Structure 1
Amino acid sequence: MRHDIHDLRARIDAAQVYELAHRTPLQLVPKLSRELGRRIWLKREDLQDVFSFKIRGAANRMAGLGEIARVQGVCAASAGNHAQGVAKAAAHYGIDALIFMPVTTPTIKVAAVEALGGKTRLVGDNYDEACDAAIEHSQKSGAIFIHPFDELDVIAGQGTVAKEIFEQATRKIDAIYVCTGGGGLVSGIGAYAKSVSPDTRIVAAEPLGAATLKAAMAAGQPVDLDHVDGFADGVAVRRIGTLTYALCCDVVDDCVTVTNDEICAAVRDIFEATRTVVEPAGAVALAALRRDVADGRAPDGDCVVTVSGANVNFDRIGHMVERAELGAGEEMLFGATIPEQRGAFQRFVEALGHRAVTEFSYRYQNDAQAHLLVGLKIKSGAERDNVMNDLNAANVAALDLSNDRLAKRHLRHMIGGDPDTTMREVLYRVEFPERPGALGQFLSALDARWNISLFHYRNHGAAEGHVLCGFQLPKDDKSALEESLSAIGFPVWEETDNPATQLFL
């Protein structure tokens, strides 16, 4: 299905958004521009009243409803930004709005929707389940379902971001980096940009664990992701829209995926430039630009980055700070093994030189050796290599764990060690929806045949919880254990053979 981008541009020009949305600044960030070697502009959609660009699509969609539709009311599904946009727009036009939100939605976001006049209903563990419930309600009640991204009026509303960019820009725009989930923002921005400036590159920025557009491009059609990483929850959808995908095929020049650590580093960049803490999704586009600069793919001229939103839970900020230095390449995490003898520890410290230590954990292993988990401040990837070379020169066996998820999420926050038994032990990492009772459900569903020898859980204020769990296998019945774990219904990954596990657990 193909769409005339010039027709969509006309819809964008006619979009009715400004009774509710603001014209947000296009802000040059000098320090970051000097660092990255090109002019970087931030399109500050975090400055909307609902702290997100989503008000634009909701406002335009609601403005186009007829009188009968307005009497019927509207419904939507969202974990945050779209919900607030629909609630605010519905209140403005005097329309009843019912928002279906996952049970995992933080209370602060539910309260924000209700404060704007929307009614809420908590259903399911994720967006997809909430969306199914909203569509079912729409079919039964006659309420109009307001899709978060896959409708022309919504896309046209989001496309007004691009209209403002080209009205505000004083120089030629070489590229626009756009955070991408369902595709409403990138298809709207891309369609407008290509109609007025065909040479401007449109880059879709996606989290590595929720790359719906990249998956669709590879398959030649929208496909469901097997697993969605909810870290950047504002763009964490399972499947890109049918309409938005068709538009993206015409207007997107490239897809760039970024890690959660890179996203956290970009959150820090935006804070240092604006003194605003944005949500992870709000920093995905800047993370992608950083990635392109590092890979030599970014244009040399003026690059615009969409800062899509700032609806972040306070209890997530610490976790983002923790991961930012790793994402920026300014911290490394490594494991080291030293002999359990006099002078070994001093030689290890001397090998580190005058580098700043950010983390240091020691675990007695046996009379022969000890294991260390160490974090260091560094300035570049080259310095990381130098650290490893210095340790090797000092005959210290070291393993770089900077990109090891197990080490970053669990090991640096716990103390391990080999169990004092000859019984076989296996370790698994489990992800479950962070809703009331989910951790208890996981624990109660475990078969009592296996003794739990290790357990570590941290709550980051995200939609998913993460557990590291060790089990003893008295009968070496690993297959039966895995059947029991899979029956719980949560994603599970074995970590027994992870090198970090071998060092510390």
Structure 2
Amino acid sequence: MTDFVNNARLTTAALRDLFDPTPLQRNDHLSARYGAEIYLKREDLTPVRSYKLRGAFNAMRKVREAAPEQRQFVCASAGNHAQGVAYACRHFGVKGTIFMPVTTPQQKIDKTRTFGGGAVEIVLTGDYFDQTLAASQTYCREMGAHFLSPFDDGDVIEGQASVAVEMFDQLGSAPDLVILPVGGGGLASGVTRYLREVAPQTDFRFVEPLGGASLTAALQAGEPVTLPRVNSFVDGAAVARLGGRTFDALKWADPAQVLLAPEDRICITMLEMLNVEGIVLEPAGAMSVDVLPVLADSIKGKTVVCVTSGGNFDFERLPEVKERAQRYSGLKKYFILRMPQRPGALREFLNMLGPEDDITRFEYLKKSARNFGSILIGIETRQAAQFTHLTARLDQAGFTYRDITGDEALAEFLI
């Protein structure tokens, strides 16, 4: 065995001081649906509800072994990495300074503080993460502290490989396929490096959010590149630039192995896992399950492991998740309707709605002319085909309307 494999096993053994192996669970619902043996590697069940604790713990452990006098650690994060670092600081009895953007939700700040106890100090600075990161690195240099990268670090990658060590030991054999979410690439780098050595027959698929496809861009360019724009909804994987070390570990991948998951489609998967299985997943944690329909024909009869990487979901976001899911599935639409300003016009429109159509939003925007007024209207239905019938009736009656459901600019300001 190589040094990496041996070190990954040693790291896994050391992690037992913090928590037992996360479950590898066969999912009956998904297995029956796809005619395969579908297992979930439940990283949403670590003490901090994500795999990030593994890498933070290992990196901190290695630093402490090499330099026992180092007792100050710094990171910049608004999410799972911050919580993993906080937990590790408390375990090792060292001081952690965690920089977060001032826009970080209070729930995430409170959880980080809880995991760290008296071992961590939280510094809120910067409206955007790049500002927060710069401030943390300046502080780190001034204080002589050690900076803990969320993914682009060899010890972090080695720590994340413990997911693969547990998975292989729990399954007792090599899976046919492992599906991994990708943000900065630390988890995918560790898991694939380990399994490519101990189970070379195992295949991989990587999943990125459509609005944050940094691995796709890096493979196309032959090096990490910075995305000009990132959709932050999948906050656990919305990374503008893949790490240099993680790219070196993943550059062997065929671009065809990388799948893109639309943010709104991920919401459908999150709701299904919650309602059917009672499993709470954050957007990044649901990505590996989200692409199963895309792979349906190729996974029949195979053993597939989906890594559910995190479950830090704020239930205040649930209405947004439901909204996105309905819009993606075609069950909810928004229109700007030009309503004639005459008696009976509104009643005429309402009579066009079907028995399963429900008005969820009705707002008079402005009276742009004496004879017409603009109305923002949201309609929810049970069958997507109902909208085809509705728009046909609107056309036949001569109503002027515009479907703005997919218009990001208008939706941001009006919906």
TM-score by length of 2: 0.85
Unpaired runs of at least 5, structure 1: 413-505
Counterpart-to-counterpart distance in 1, 2:306 and 2:83: 23
Cα distance in 2 for partners of 1:6, 1:399 equals 61
Q: Is the 8 A contact 2:332 2:378 kept in 1?
A: no
Partner residue, 1:148: 150
- What is the CA–CA distance in structure 2 between the aligned matches of 1:302 and 1:189, rounded to whole Å? 17
Measure, in 1, the Cα distance between the counterparts of 2:56 and 2:43. 14
Give the conservation status (yes or no) of the 8 Å contact 2:177–2:204: yes
Identity of aligned residues (%): 34
TM-superposed deviation, 1:54: 0.5
Give CA-to-partner distance per residue, 1:119-157, whole Å, 9 cap, x none: 222232233332223333333333222211111221121
1:71 aligns to what SS in structure 2? Answer: coil
| Equivalence map 1:201-280=2 (5 Å) | 201-251=203-253, 254-280=257-283
Q: Distance in 1 between matches of 2:163 and 2:185?
A: 14
Q: Which residue of 2 aligns with 1:444?
A: none
Contact 2:217 2:225 in 1 (8 A): yes
Q: Secondary structure at the match of 1:103?
A: coil
Given candidates 49, 54, 57, the residue that maps to 2:55 is 57
Structure 1 window deviating more from structure 2 (231-240 vs 327-336): it is: 327-336
Amino acid paired to 2:92: Y
Q: How does 1:380-399 map to 2 (within 5 A)?
A: 385=388, 387-389=390-392, 391-392=394-395, 395-399=398-402
1:67 deviates by 4.8
For 1:97, the aligned partner's letter is G
CA contact under 8 A between 1:351 and 1:394: conserved in structure 2?
Answer: no
Q: Secondary structure of the equivalent of 1:65?
A: helix
Are 1:285 and 2:288 an aligned pair? yes
Which position in structure 2 is the counterpart of 1:130? Answer: 132
Q: Residue 99 in 1 paired to residue 91 in 2? A: no
Q: Where do residues 393-432 of structure 1 align in structure 2 (5 Å cutoff)?
A: 395-412=398-415
How far is 1:202 from its partner?
Answer: 2.1
Q: Which of these residues, 194, 197, 201, is aligned with residue 195 of structure 1?
A: 197
For the residues of structure 2 that align with 1:284 and 1:150, how far apart are their CA atoms?
A: 21
Q: SS of 1:185's equivalent?
A: helix
Deviation at 1:50, TM superposition (A): 0.9
Aligned partner of 1:8 among 4, 13, 25: 4
Change (3 A) 1:142 1:38: same
Given that 2:174 and 2:201 are in contact with CA atoms closer than 8 Å, whether structure 1 keeps it comes out as no
The answer as to 2:299 corresponding to 1:299 is yes
Check if 1:25 corresponds to 2:23: yes
Give, in angstroms, the shift of residue 385 of structure 1.
4.5
Judge conservation of contact 1:357–1:375 (CA < 8 Å) in 2. yes
With structure 1 as the length reference, what TM-score do the two structures score? 0.71
Distance 2:324 2:166 in 1: 33
> How much has 1:226 moved relative to structure 2?
1.7
Deviations for 1:248-302, whole angstroms, at most 9, x for unmatched residues?
1124662222333222222212212443433222223333444x25xx7763344
- Deviation of the 1:178 alpha carbon: 1.9
RMSD, aligned CA: 3.1
Cα distance, 1:328–1:8 mapped onto 2, change above 3 Å: farther
Deviates more, 1:273-282 or 1:243-252: 273-282
Unaligned runs of 5+ in 2: none
Q: CA deviation at 1:391?
A: 4.4
